[in-house]
Amino acid sequence: MVGGMALAPFLSGHAAAGGRNVLNAMMPAEPATLCYPLLNTRLVQEICANINEPLLLLDWDFKPRPNLAKSFTATPDGLAYTFHLQPGVRWHDGVPFTARDVVFSCDKMLRQLNPRSRNAFNHCQSIRALDPLTVEFRLHTPFNAFILSLMASNAPMMPAHIYDGSDYRTNPHNFAPIGTGPFKFARWERGQYIRLTRNRDYWRAGWPRIDDIYFRVCPTPEQRMVALETGAVDIAFADDIDSVVTKRLRANPDIVTTTRGYEAVGEIAVMEMNQRRWPFSDRRFRQAFMHAIDRDFIVKAINFGEGKVATGPIPSNVPYYDPKVLTRYPFDPARARAMLDAMGLKKKRGGVRHRFTFLLIPDGGGVQTRAAQYVRQAASEVGLDIELQSSDWATFGRRTGNWDFDMDNNSYGEYGDPAIGTSRFYVSSNILKGVPQTNIQGYRNAQVDTLFARAASAVDPGETQDCYSRLQQILTRDVAMVWLYERDPLLFYNRRVHDAVTGPNGPTDGMGRAWLTGVA
């Protein structure tokens, strides 16, 4: 028994496969949906990337390479892009993939639901089919990150004949998705696994090289560790393995440990405050809160030295980071108490200034939960009483998307450019009730809106840098979000697994090229 649960459910997957070419992956919890644009979390990306494909992929140098689009051209002024689609591609139900699907995905479904690519498509004056295999995107103004915004985790193509005219949130195919990818959805056995099976009519010759992928539910950190060590599962993604056991797995000669495949993410662990509610609406409270928590302790003691303290909205290892303009918040509880006093948030009976709730992201008791438990203790030292609330993915997505929280925790990526992964949390146009992973905090600053728009369309790189420098100055002054630490995501896999990752977007490009040693 591991973590109170037997490993038998995982081992039975190998036996049931009858010696077939099967890859076993894991998931810490079941997703709330398999509608890729509706809940674009990493877990959904890792599963659905094998089902729903993008127009383009990225190589290791972040250069676009063909996928559902075999080629594209752009006008010199950056205002028009024309994509030529692969011929002969079919959805898993046999319906041809055409330009209509691209127009529907980009102009309707993604523009409405996706927290990252909608910014790119909102720059479009028109998205239209020139013929069944040609699509033209015409922009109002240049958008520097337009091509990056089309990568797999940002812009999966969705079937128009399944979703157009339906309620995206209640469509039954959210739990039995249809795509063009190398694997088809086969079965969802609740509490046990999600099974994908080989698409034998896949448009790319020679792919996939695996018969089935099982994403198996492994709810506890201990169970995930042992499942990987024993070979019950073959691969573990960035959110699967707790940092407390990373050193042990690194020492295992049968397991490969790598950060390769997460270069496109640029990820920061954060906490979000609902700024529609007092005192979170007061910048002084947010500043005091930053001084109340020891983020260096979180990195060293809670995340076991993995990552580094985050200093603002843009990670320190990506373009446009500017350390010179940042407002810093060193650990200083005495200063936090003085700031809370100065804003009138005095201690009441029992020494408590304010009570509020903290909605925990469901990580199975991992580092995010441990960090929240520490934050609760640190906050109590300055007179703040926090109640931690557990949730599952469905509840977490619904409550955060509907702004039904005081504070939460999460982890967000930049995905190649601040215009894609960073701006979505701070621009007022991305305050969208019912859509998680947007500006759920309700942060509003007209100057920030203007600077993000200018940065995204600037032709001169110097102007782009100037905009992002000013943005970092404003956002860190405002504590527009509580930035904890920059993550260094790890991928673990058994040595029998090959080519599971083929680009900087990692497993979220799908595993169509993956193959296994020792399988005929």
Show Cβ contacts of residue 210 under 8 Å, excluding neighbours closer than 6 positions. 21, 22, 23, 198, 511, 514, 515, 516
Phi, psi of 143 (to 5 degrees): -130, 110
Co-location of 80 and 227 in the same domain = no
| Same domain for 286 and 387 | yes
The CATH number of the domain holding residue 110 is 3.90.76.10
Q: Looking at the structure, tell me whether residues 124 and 189 fall in a common domain.
A: no
Same domain as 479, residue 339: yes
Q: Is residue 135 within 8 Å of 493, Cβ to Cβ?
A: no
Alpha-carbon distance values, 453 to 118, 417, 426, 445 (Å): 14, 13, 12, 13
**Residue 168 resides in a domain:** no
Whether residue 130 is found in the same domain as residue 212: no
Q: Is the dihedral of CA 307, 309, 313, 319 positive or negative?
A: negative
User: Same domain, yes or no, for 339 and 454?
Assistant: yes
Boundary-marking domain end, from 133, 163, 193: 163
Does residue 170 sit within a domain?
A: no
- Do both 39 and 95 map to the same domain? no
Alpha helix stretches (DSSP H) within 122-245 = 160-163, 221-230
Question: What is the SS3 assignment for 455?
Answer: helix
Does a cis peptide bond (omega within 30 degrees of 0) precede residue 418?
A: no
* 173 inside domain: no
> Residue 318 is encoded by which pair of tokens?
């990506």
Residues 358 and 452 in one domain: yes
Residue at which a domain ends, from 114, 134, 163? 163
Burial level of 109, CB count in 10 A (0-12/13-18/19+)? Answer: buried
The answer to whether residues 138 and 65 belong to one domain is yes
Does residue 108 lie in a domain region? yes
CATH number for the domain spanning 12: value is 3.40.190.10
Question: Does some domain include residue 169?
Answer: no
Residue-by-residue pLDDT tens, the chain, 520 positions: 333 334 434 443 343 344 469 999 999 889 989 998 988 788 899 999 999 999 999 888 888 999 999 999 999 999 999 999 999 999 999 999 999 999 999 999 999 888 778 878 988 999 999 999 999 999 998 898 899 889 877 899 999 999 999 999 999 999 999 999 999 999 999 999 999 999 999 999 999 999 999 999 998 888 889 999 999 999 998 878 888 888 898 899 999 998 888 777 788 999 999 999 999 999 999 999 999 999 999 999 999 888 899 999 999 988 899 999 999 999 999 999 999 999 999 999 889 999 999 999 988 788 899 999 999 999 999 999 999 999 998 899 999 999 999 999 999 988 878 988 899 999 999 999 998 989 999 999 999 999 999 999 888 889 999 999 999 999 999 999 999 999 888 899 999 999 998 888 888 899 999 999 875 4
Whole-prediction pTM? 0.83
Same domain, 234 and 332: no
If asked whether residues 318 and 379 sit together in one domain, one would say yes
Say yes or no: 254 and 314 in one domain: no
CA distance 191 to 491: 24
For residues 422 and 84, give the distance between their C-alpha atoms in angstroms, rounded to a whole number: 30
Residue 101's domain comprises 56-163
Tally of domains in the chain: 3
Distance between CA atoms of residues 457 and 143, nearest Å: 5
